[in-house]
A and B are shown apart, each in its own frame.
Chain A
């Protein structure tokens, strides 16, 4: 089973800018395991140290398996997680 680690910044600015909805949308993927043929374990962690200091211009920020996404939104985050969970194309 593949593992995807998603870190979501939950600083004040990121919560205001929709971080909690991003977390909801990641959790919602569990319900689509069959449709998506996902065989992935998604670990969600919340933190505030993805980037140094306050970051109003790039909020919300999310890191997926080490890759930082600035100005993240739910659709991009879901797409990236699913792309990582799919079997590699041969």
Chain B
């Protein structure tokens, strides 16, 4: 579904734009009560059983976009409850980040196999022969699956010559690589936060738009209105996200029009991370640390810590590109506030970690930023003489695409240590990341760099992206090729690295 513009996408983006507009206009914020009527006009429901319910759901989404909590259906409370208190120029956040709006959830049944009308009750009925638990039988001339016996192995579906047996899955659970989607007493999706690593895939994969994450746009717009020094750091996957007119240089100019005083590429921090991790790979592996896992994707590294505590110490402890870049910015501009702009839901939580909280002040996604651009009517076509972007190397700029992180590290090793053999394994999507770590835990990835990316395609497949993955990958590659230096070691910021990462 990702990459297809559906009514779900439409509503999500309308909400970002309306909240940004509300914040820019200021005044009495009880006006938020009117927005559901704008987004869901008329008297006739379009997607659900009643127009009142559609508006109520939009109302909860509006609250989440303001950073407020979602309320259950049994609490009477206006949408605007708490909005005046949240209309401030600093972060408002109460966990959890990713929320199911319970009354928006259709309570799709959990994973199961069932027989459709395609079944012709054939003489061969291989479905029966392949079932290891005798759950399939012919009943009234059709194949029948006994749900109590079925172990959901899928063999019957594979064997059917008519494709008559189908797998049914809840899209949220199917997209969750850590099995964090459970059910509440009404069969509605409920997130197990002990397992959830906030990758955000469920929120883009729910066809009923019942899941949303909290946004910081409302507070960010207030901070921009204050006119204080605010600097944007924009993740490597940003290229191509804002439409064909929005060249990287024009995006920088557009951000300055919004009120940012400067824009840094997060690829700067990625360059430094690639060098540090290359040095670590060459010098730091040992019996205790037989492989090195990359550290840049927060959902991946949190997943490793939660599900594979025995090997969690093998995840690199180098600063993530977001944090490394933020620290450079704060060193150069001690009074500035830093806004990370990226594709990622999970970075919103990374920025709240105790050690990071003072470095990154806000985190917003490309989709949320596009809502702000639209609210401010920023037109990329009108931008001439956009400022240059000469911050980072091709290595760091490639970090947003699967394979780019390990590729950048490998390029550094090839340059500095041409005789060292580099072994790489990588995975994208948390299912495959878990498989890779299972192999590593079994001792089968000794001497490897393991690149883990929680989202399909890498960061360009993140929950907060706008462009289809393939086009985004091409745009990121083009911008990486345009960099003056192609290996991370060409970074202008190499002096920021601690001594132990210098070439030995």
Question: Which residues does A use to contact B, with CB under 8 Å?
Answer: 10-13, 15-22, 24, 46, 48, 54, 56, 73-74
Contacts and interface: CB of A to CB of B under 8 A. Distances in A.
A18 B373 contact: no
Contacts of A48: 245, 379, 381
Contact of B467 (A16, A20, A46): A20
Contact of B243 (A19, A24, A54, A73): A19
Contact of B381 (A11, A20, A22): A11
A12 B10 contact: no
Contacts of A12: 242-243, 370, 373-374, 377-380
B13 A16 contact: yes
A11 B13 CA distance: 15
Contacts of A46: 244-245
Interface of B: prevailing SS: loop
Contacts of B373: 12, 16
Contact of B466 (A13, A20, A22, A54): A20
Contact of A17 (B13, B242, B381): B13
A19 B5 CA distance: 9
Most buried by A among B244, B246, B373: B244
B interface, how many residues as a size bin? 20 to 34
A35 B484 CA distance: 47
B215 to A, nearest CB: 15
Given A18-B9, A20-B243, A11 B379 contact: yes
Contacts of A18: 5, 9-10
Given A21-B4, A21-B5, A16 B381 contact: no
A15 B10 CA distance: 11
B301 to A, nearest CB: 31
Contact of B374 (A10, A16, A21): A16
A16 B377 CA distance: 11
A2 to B, nearest CB: 26
A24 B466 CA distance: 13
